[in-house]
Structure 1
Amino acid sequence: MFLSRYERMIARRYLLPGRGEAFIALVASISLVAVMLGVAALVIVMSVMNGFRAELFDKITGLNGHAVVQGYGGQLRDWREVAAEARKTPGVTTATPLIEQPLMASFQGRVEGVLIRGMTVGDLRANPTLNRNVVIGRMAELTPDCECIAIGSRLASTLGASLGSSVQLISPQGPTTPFGTVPRIVSYRIAAIFEVGVYDYDKAFVVMPMETAQTLLLMGDSVSMVEIDTEDPDRVGEILAPLAQKVVQTAQLSDWRTLNATLFEALAVDRLVTFTVLSILILVAVFNILSSLIMLVRAKTRDIAILRTMGATRSGLIKIFVTVGTAIGGLGIVAGLILGFVLLYFRQGVLSFLGFITGQEIWDPSMRYLTELPAKTDPLEVASIALMALGFSFLATLYPAFKAASTDPVQVLRYE
């Protein structure tokens, strides 16, 4: 839609009303601010939810893989064959044997429930999720003959343990006596403390070499599961379908969607509901543009009539008022994008400030899974938000624009 020179001049004058039209200018300013806040809120919330899902997915799959083959009864004796078969499956990148078992940990009278994870030394040193997030100590010290472990930072804080402390692990699977089964209590030295950023993992995980876990749990040469990574997590079911049929007699295959179905479904629903609610907020802001344009048309009725008698066309008037309303919406969108990106960049500082003002912990890791507020901005999503807001603004201009174009100069100027 191209404007002629006089149309641009009039549109510019209407964007900046005169002294006697301060109320119209106020309403237009409120409209601009409302669009800005709506766009900023939508960009911030959608980016945070995208970041939350991506961060949670990376942490979960970084420790649990895209799928696991679990042996019936908690033990997988033919794990070497299962791992070899998995590696031969097209689309599978890695197949890692693991031992996982819930136990109890004790240190200086404090007792906490923990989740033991046994991994081969090679897998321990090659796991990026663990090695990148070591707070203190070295994962390289975890060897079969070391009697060493690595624990999460939250667990260390809860137990009051630190690097070099000797923590006792209590296993119910101990020797059998005439009086029943006696629990096994074995002490291990803390060689490393890690913080992966997922509260439940940092609160419970105890990592050790596989041989050490097999000895502690009296498992012999068996493992609990084989962890599998694939080329495309979204196609994990399709990729592993042949493997699932081959291991069905001895084990069960579960992918990340099955293991965390409730969590990711809740995130998807929450994301949709939030987007809908905040879109309505932008729609309400756009109605302010409609109101300001209607008032502007009523205030400029005499000017419109004079323009019509001077040769202004109906289409020209439509373009003028569409331009005015769309410009208000466009400025609000640009300001909203800037505000949204600034708040996203300083999001941790904003949370700290709000916590200081309210005296409460705004981001509780025990409730939010992650220790920090994540954010991941999707350019296509931001573009769709901007286009949606601009489309709403354009639609809001149509009625006032056509109302102005339908002004009858004879009726308006009859008594002038």
Structure 2
Amino acid sequence: MILSPFERMIAKRYLLPGKGEAFIALVAGISVGVVMLSVAMLVVVMSVMNGFRAELLDKIVGLNGHAIVQAYGGRLDNWEEMLAEVRQTPGVVEASPLIEQPLLVTFNGRVEGIFVRGQTQDDLAGLADRVLLGNISELRPDAGNVAIGSRLAQNIGARVGDTITIINPQGRATPFGTSMRQVGYRVAAIFEVGIYDYDEKFVMMPMADAQTLLLMGDSVGMIEVKVTDPDKVGEILAPVQEKVAGRAVVADWKTMNATLFEALQVERVAMFFALSFMVLVAAFNILSSLVMLVRAKSRDIAIMRTMGATRRSLMKIFVTTGFTVGAIGTVAGLGFGFLVLIFRQQIVRAIEIVTGQNLWDPSIRFLSTLPSRTDPLEVVGIVLLALTLSFLATLYPALKAASTDPVEVLRYE
């Protein structure tokens, strides 16, 4: 919408009301503030929700892959042949054997339930960037070393260099019954994945050590698979499911974490829908401020009409005035929202200090820190929503101004 110099001058004048129009200026300022806060809140909430989903997916996939091929009974005997078939499947990026078994660990009289994970040397090396203390390279077959999660280390009071005892209830049979296997392992490294349950339960060790501890021989528990597109993991691994039918089952990340990710998706949609009403409220504020402006400027409008101003010009003036208020609020909201996202962790800590409450408990939230990941397309959608509602809010006041009858207004002047 191109404005003439006259229209631009009047619109600018109405954007900055005079001394006698302080109340109109206040309402317009409130409109800008409400638009700013609504846009900022939408950006912050949607970014946090996206970050929560993305961080969970990244961390879960970092440990479990996009899918697993698990044999009925929990043991793959001829896994080398199956591993080769999986690796040859189009769309599969990586596949590796894995052992995962729930056991018990004890240290200094403390007992905790754990998950023992036996992995290849390459997979263990991938944990190097998540190690807080120690050296993951010390986890070699038959070396008797393990890596444990940071929360587990806190719970049992273990440090790097300490020897923990892992208990396997399924021990060897003896004339006096089955004896539990109790094997001591040295803590060579302490890692932190960032997901509370993993950091609290997982103990990593080389594949050969896990096979020895669990009396599995040369068997493995499952095959971990990573694919090119996580959202199409079912389609990519469909041929694998057909090949291993009757011997094993394929479970992808969607199936294994269906409840969690479906809940996140529902919450994400619900939050966007609810917070969108704030933008609608902001649009009504713009509408009310423009209605007040039209009523206050009825005499000016009548004079401009008698001087030759067209109805189209008046509509353009008031649409521009209201839309500019919405645009200023939208831009300010984007800036404020991104500022909050940058300092989100510091804001959470400050609120915790003031209220004395733990706002981000990792045992409940799964993640150790408040995540954030901004989707550019969502930001564009939020901006378009705010600008569209701001534009629609200007139409009624603009039509009202354009339909002003100068004869009626100036009759008693």
TM-score w.r.t. the length of structure 2 is 0.99
Aligned equivalent of 1:338? 335
Q: Which moved more, 1:399-408 or 1:17-26?
A: 17-26
Aligned equivalent of 1:382? 379
Q: Does 1:194 align with 2:191?
A: yes
Aligned equivalent of 1:48? 48
In structure 2, distance between residues paired with 1:347 and 1:180: 58
Shift of 1:249: 1.4
Q: Which amino acid counterpart does residue 346 of structure 1 have in structure 2? A: F
Q: Does 1:245 align with 2:260?
A: no
In structure 2, distance between residues paired with 1:237 and 1:247: 14
User: Aligned to 1:314, which of 311, 314, 321?
Assistant: 311
Aligned equivalent of 2:129? 132
In structure 1, distance between residues paired with 2:49 and 2:175: 57
3-state DSSP class of the match of 1:97? strand
In structure 2, distance between residues paired with 1:356 and 1:157: 24
In structure 2, distance between residues paired with 1:97 and 1:7: 72
Aligned equivalent of 2:295? 298
Q: Which amino acid counterpart does residue 340 of structure 1 have in structure 2? A: G
Q: Which amino acid counterpart does residue 192 of structure 1 have in structure 2? A: A
Q: Does 1:265 align with 2:243?
A: no
Shift of 1:122: 2.9
3-state DSSP class of the match of 1:319? helix
- What are the ranges of 5 or more consecutive residues in structure 1 without an aligned counterpart? none
In structure 2, distance between residues paired with 1:248 and 1:353: 54
Aligned equivalent of 1:256? 253
> Could you give the per-residue CA deviations for residues 147-185 of structure 1, whole angstroms, max 9, x where no partner exists?
110000010011100001111101111022344322111
3-state DSSP class of the match of 2:170? coil
3-state DSSP class of the match of 2:133? strand
Q: Which amino acid counterpart does residue 66 of structure 1 have in structure 2? A: H
Aligned equivalent of 1:412? 409
The percentage of counterpart residues that share the same residue type is 64
Shift of 1:248: 1.2
User: Aligned to 2:347, which of 345, 350, 354?
Assistant: 350
Shift of 1:46: 0.7
In structure 2, distance between residues paired with 1:120 and 1:308: 83
Q: Which amino acid counterpart does residue 371 of structure 2 have in structure 1? A: P
In structure 1, distance between residues paired with 2:2 and 2:120: 68
Aligned equivalent of 2:89? 89
3-state DSSP class of the match of 1:173? strand
Q: Does 1:206 align with 2:223?
A: no
In structure 2, distance between residues paired with 1:6 and 1:122: 72
In structure 1, distance between residues paired with 2:132 and 2:376: 33
Q: Which amino acid counterpart does residue 383 of structure 1 have in structure 2? A: V
Aligned equivalent of 1:225? 222
In structure 2, distance between residues paired with 1:264 and 1:16: 49
Aligned equivalent of 1:399? 396
In structure 1, distance between residues paired with 2:384 and 2:47: 17
In structure 1, distance between residues paired with 2:269 and 2:190: 38
RMSD: 0.9
Aligned equivalent of 1:31? 31
Mapping for residues 164-179 of structure 1, pairs under 5 Å: 164-179=161-176
Q: Which amino acid counterpart does residue 84 of structure 1 have in structure 2? A: A
In structure 2, distance between residues paired with 1:179 and 1:29: 84
> Could you give the per-residue CA deviations for residues 7-57 of structure 1, whole angstroms, max 9, x where no partner exists?
111111111111111111111101100000000000011111111111111
Shift of 1:311: 0.4
Shift of 1:232: 1.1
Aligned equivalent of 1:147? 144
In structure 2, distance between residues paired with 1:110 and 1:145: 25
In structure 2, distance between residues paired with 1:151 and 1:332: 50
3-state DSSP class of the match of 1:174? strand
In structure 2, distance between residues paired with 1:90 and 1:415: 84
Q: Which amino acid counterpart does residue 238 of structure 1 have in structure 2? A: E
> Could you give the per-residue CA deviations for residues 184-229 of structure 1, whole angstroms, max 9, x where no partner exists?
1111000000001111110101000011001111111111100011
> Could you give the per-residue CA deviations for residues 75-113 of structure 1, whole angstroms, max 9, x where no partner exists?
111111110000111111111100000011111011111
In structure 2, distance between residues paired with 1:287 and 1:80: 66
Aligned equivalent of 1:107? 107
> Could you give the per-residue CA deviations for residues 357-384 of structure 1, whole angstroms, max 9, x where no partner exists?
1111111111111101111111221111
Q: Which amino acid counterpart does residue 43 of structure 1 have in structure 2? A: V
3-state DSSP class of the match of 2:237? helix
Aligned equivalent of 1:364? 361
Aligned equivalent of 1:98? 98
3-state DSSP class of the match of 1:74? coil
In structure 2, distance between residues paired with 1:180 and 1:44: 60
Aligned equivalent of 1:63? 63
